[in-house]
Amino acid sequence: MSIHASQEIEILRRTLARFVREEVRPLEEEHRLPGDVAPPAELRRRVRMRSHELGLYAADMPREVGGAGLPLAERVVLDTEAFSHETVFFDDLLGGPGGPSSILLACNAEQRSRYLLPLVRGETSTCFALSEPEAGSDASGLRLRAEKRGDRYVLNGSKNIITNAVQCDFAMVFAVTDPARGAMGGITCFLVDAGTPGFSVGRSHTCMGFSGFQGELVFENCELPAGAILGQEGFGLALALDWINANRIKIGAMAAGILVLGLNAGSYGAEIVRGSILAVPRGQIEAAIALNLTPFQRMWRIVLPQAAAAMIPPATNTLIELLKNTSLVSLITIADLTFQGQIIRASTLKSAEVFLLLLALYLALSMVIRTFMRRIEKRYSLSWRPVGGLT
């Protein structure tokens, strides 16, 4: 296949960029959504369904189930574009871990109608429940048991750090059905509806600064019919590896998209530097030339000291804005503080005290940055003193 994008995928890429710019970002601003906390389920559903209308969501799924039939090599072009935009709906634009995947093509006719088709249309979401507290990277060491009792299976155990666990409509759960066979035919995948007796969502996890996207699933005597099995009994590990391998390819596209996002953000910082350098009076540069200073000496001793004093104020504002909005450049953001505050408020019912504390913490963080940058600004302004005829 050619490495150059086809006309069709280029049209889809531009459609995706316009969708994010004209519809998704305004939606975030309208609801004042923080950049690192999972949005409400209904808003995510709206974005998914609108994306499907535009031919973007689940575009790599076959046409017979409602997708666009894009090959994986073209799907990653869209993934790169999606992650090049700063949006909290990154998993809902095309269908991330909570969206449809090729392993669901193993659904039988009833499962296809009940699970796959609504999922492709963006009406529902799912989660890939493989990781466990004692079996993360080693998928063959699962502990969650699915014991067969008559024509039903009873699940007991837990899953953790599961993306979209909190908001999923159903889960793809991998459990041990035959301990003796283990990974060689002893793991089965089950489709479990949210709200099934014995199936509950445990605590929410915070991963890499994001809150509400990952969580824990708990199974306590959760009874499922044999019709809940995806594919064949004992073939669950093969399905899991198929899902993992496909998503590993998409991780490369995600990294490329984040790189583009970083370059775009960096270009704004570069503009601050460029403007500050151009603001240095031309006469001082010409005087430095007349004094036979080398280009390096002119830049180091004449231009940069004055430019630094000019670029510090806008750089300070940018840093504080990043602190407020995103966790990509900081460990503690106002969104993280607010999310944790909501949890404390719900358990203590002390709204005024909690939010006053949050205000004080954020003010303290901002003041530390502001004081630090002002000292640097003062240092540069004092260190630069025009000499003689240099004005």
pLDDT tens digits, 122-176: 999 999 999 998 776 677 788 999 999 999 999 999 999 899 999 999 999 999 9
| Cα separation of the two ends of the chain | 62
The single-letter code of the amino acid at 93 is L
35 three-class SS = coil
Cα–Cα dist 182/186, whole Å? 4
pLDDT along the chain (391 residues), means of 10: 67 93 92 81 95 94 93 88 87 90 94 97 95 78 92 94 92 94 90 96 73 85 96 92 85 80 76 84 86 88 82 74 52 56 66 77 74 70 49 42
Cα–Cα dist 362/351, whole Å? 17
DSSP 115: I
Is the domain covering 126-234 a CATH 2.60.40.10 domain? no
The per-residue b/e assignment along 361-381, b for 16 or more CB within 10 angstroms, e otherwise, is ebeebbeeeeeebeeebeebe
Which helix or strand (DSSP H or E) is residue 247 part of? helix 236-278
Which helix or strand (DSSP H or E) is residue 128 part of? strand 126-129
Where, residue-wise, is CATH 1.10.540.10 in the chain?
7-124
Are 56 and 16 contacting, i.e. CB atoms less than 8 angstroms apart?
yes
What CA–CA distances, in Å, run from 288 to 104, 305, 388, 391?
70, 14, 12, 11
Half-sphere exposure of 25 (CA within 13 A, CB side): 10
Looking up tokens 């007991």 gives 156
**pLDDT on residue 234:** 92
Pairing of strands 126-129, 170-176: parallel
Nearest to 357 by CA among 379, 338, 333, 374: 338
Say which CATH class 279-383 falls into. mainly alpha
Where, residue-wise, is CATH 2.40.110.10 in the chain?
126-234
Looking up tokens 């535009």 gives 54
Are 42 and 124 contacting, i.e. CB atoms less than 8 angstroms apart?
no
Where, residue-wise, is CATH 1.10.3720.10 in the chain?
279-383
CA 138 to chain centre: 24
What CA–CA distances, in Å, run from 95 to 40, 158, 243, 252?
16, 25, 13, 16
Note the pTM of the prediction, 2 decimals.
0.71
Pairing of strands 187-193, 229-230: antiparallel
Say which CATH class 7-124 falls into. mainly alpha
Are 200 and 218 contacting, i.e. CB atoms less than 8 angstroms apart?
yes
Task: List, in order, residues 6 or more apart from 86 with CB less than 8 Å away.
Answer: 35, 261, 326
Cα–Cα dist 147/221, whole Å? 10
Which helix or strand (DSSP H or E) is residue 192 part of? strand 187-193
The single-letter code of the amino acid at 135 is A
DSSP 60: T
Cα–Cα dist 82/60, whole Å? 15
